[in-house]
Amino acid sequence: MAVWQWLLFFICICVKVTQTEASSWTIDVPSSVKGLLGSCVVIPCSYNYPNAKVQTFTGIWTNDGNQVIYHPTESKMLEQYRRRTKLLGDISKSNCSLMIENLQQNDGGPFHFRIELGGYNSFSYLNKKVSILMIREPNAIDFSAHEDIKEGQPVSASCSVFHSCPTYPPAFHWSHSGEQHFQAQKLHDGQWKATSILTFRSNRTDHNKLLQCRVTYHGGKHQETSKTLKVKYAPVNVKVEYQSDVNEGETAHLKCSSDANPVSSYEWHSETGALLNKGQTYTILIVSRHSVEAVYCTAVNEEGQVRSSTVKLNVLYAPDIRTSSKCSSDWGVLKCECIVESRPPSMVHFVLGDRLQNSSVETNGSVTTGTLQTDFGSFKFVHCLANNTLGNENLTLSLLVNDNMQKIFIVSGTVVILLIILIATGVGVVNKRKENYEDVHSNDICSNDHVYGNVRTKRRVPLKTNV
């Protein structure tokens, strides 16, 4: 073989060996990554080197001016990168990922990685540089939730954001309590997607409330978004709104209210269940104490129906003295009872002659009873007076003599008559005896006149005088 042939063969062998060795120095790193100012960014990196026996591994990151932004020996780094950069993972296992914290505007790069293999070789991956694209504000939150739900149903909501710092992922905060699940998804070019999923059971108190998701990034920046929940539920807090006190003869307005979604329709019923009206209001044109009845309203929507408690108007009216009021006397004592119906209760007084009498008053519901007890006297009438805030009324009560008094009068009359008869009979007997006595003694006096004449005269005189 000619000399030039051997030379060509040797050159080919050398070139092939050199190409094989160079192809073993490879690195996988994105050309650029997005980084949020003030937060952190991770540049994903993995490298390869020729198969050789290596004693130590030293990973270094430098900028375009070969200034070191990361080195295991901090004193060899630029001052502004100290305590802000570090390698993630195991450098001996080909992981050369770099994290930069508190990202600043002048951290844009480009940067490249250099590996120093102790006992073998060193290599700078100058053909694979990476730059950092600065963003001042994070991207908008991707927020999803079912807005129209029914009370009691489970609700699921998710909140997702993109970031480039998997070491310190964003923190999620929800305005509603519930069970939370966190998911991290690796994308490309150093981007990650973080998702928080919230599940809870809906309640009517959630209706028209904001479901808010707040995201806080490493470094302090935050953003939030929200959606208004719409919860369907049956009527609650069904009640009748009305003025309980109403004057007799006036108009009363009652209104039914409830909390419901969708909005309720209303019906009015009597206590017996009879339908009185449909609509939110019920009007009684002329209120009467004799016809007013207890009522309730029912609220209805597609989720159900609920009735209110029963209510009844308190009808106010002026005093009405019952005709059963009366007076009577018993053994010389006058007793009067005045029964008054009214709302509010009345004050009851008695007037005998021209004087106001002391009396007792007892109230039971709408009925007030006044009682008078006093000496009979010679009066024939008692006046009962009743008044409240709505008016007054009076009634004249006749004095009736009861059976006991009549018996007294009859017995008294009989006794008087008997006394008169007895007195008259006694007088007649006495007069007859006196006449007989005078006849007998007159004869005696005449036969002995010569002895007793002055005495008789004297006696007659007296006797005649007595008679």
**Integer Cα distance of 94 and 45 in angstroms:** 8
Domain that holds residue 173: 142-228
User: What was the pLDDT predicted at 420?
Assistant: 61
Task: Tell whether 2 is covered by a domain.
Answer: no
User: What was the pLDDT predicted at 305?
Assistant: 94
Task: Tell whether 417 is covered by a domain.
Answer: no
Pick from 412, 398, 416, 235: which is nearest to 326 by CA? 398
**Integer Cα distance of 156 and 85 in angstroms:** 39
**Which residues are within 8 A (CB) of 60 and not within 5 positions of it... i.e. 6 or more apart?**
68, 70, 71, 113, 114, 115, 116
> Which tokens sit at 9?
């063969």
201 and 287 within one domain: no
Pick from 110, 167, 115: which is nearest to 133 by CA? 110
Using an 8 Å Cβ cutoff, are 331 and 303 in contact? no
285 and 325 within one domain: no
Using an 8 Å Cβ cutoff, are 338 and 368 in contact? no
Mark which of 202, 228, 254 sits at the end of a domain: 228
48 and 129 within one domain: yes
CATH number of the domain that residue 110 is part of: 2.60.40.10
Mark which of 191, 211, 228 sits at the end of a domain: 228
Q: Per the confidence metrics, is the pTM higher than 0.85? A: no
Task: Tell whether 428 is covered by a domain.
Answer: no
Task: Tell whether 213 is covered by a domain.
Answer: yes
Name the 3-class secondary structure at 8: helix
Q: What's the number of domains the chain is made of? A: 4
User: What was the pLDDT predicted at 309?
Assistant: 95
User: What was the pLDDT predicted at 438?
Assistant: 44
Task: Tell whether 208 is covered by a domain.
Answer: yes
29 and 129 within one domain: yes
**Integer Cα distance of 154 and 121 in angstroms:** 61
Indicate the residue type of 385. L
39 and 118 within one domain: yes
**Integer Cα distance of 368 and 365 in angstroms:** 8
Per DSSP (E only), the strands in 6-141 are 26-28, 32-36, 41-43, 46-48, 56-63, 68-70, 85-87, 98-100, 111-118, 121-124, 131-135
Radius of gyration of the chain from its Cα atoms, rounded to whole angstroms: 61
Mark which of 135, 155, 183 sits at the end of a domain: 135
174 and 94 within one domain: no
**Integer Cα distance of 346 and 393 in angstroms:** 10
Pick from 316, 310, 295, 321: which is nearest to 250 by CA? 316
**What DSSP string runs through 343-394?**
ESPPEEEEEETTEEEP-EEEEETTEEEEEEEEE-TT--EEEEEEEETTEEEE
Using an 8 Å Cβ cutoff, are 96 and 114 in contact? no
**Integer Cα distance of 36 and 137 in angstroms:** 7
Backbone region of residue 92 per phi and psi (left: phi > 0; alpha: psi in -120 to 50; beta: other values): alpha
396 and 364 within one domain: yes
pLDDT tens for each residue of the chain, 467 residues long: 454 454 444 444 443 333 344 458 899 999 999 999 999 999 999 999 888 787 889 999 999 888 999 999 988 999 999 989 999 889 989 899 999 999 999 998 899 999 988 878 889 999 999 999 999 988 899 999 887 889 999 999 999 999 988 999 999 999 999 999 999 999 888 899 999 999 999 999 989 899 999 999 998 899 999 999 999 999 999 999 999 999 999 999 999 999 999 999 999 999 999 999 999 999 999 999 888 899 999 999 999 999 999 999 999 999 999 999 998 887 778 899 999 999 999 999 999 888 888 889 999 999 999 999 887 666 778 999 999 999 999 999 887 655 444 444 444 455 546 666 666 565 454 455 444 434 434 344 333 333 322 222 323 223 232 32
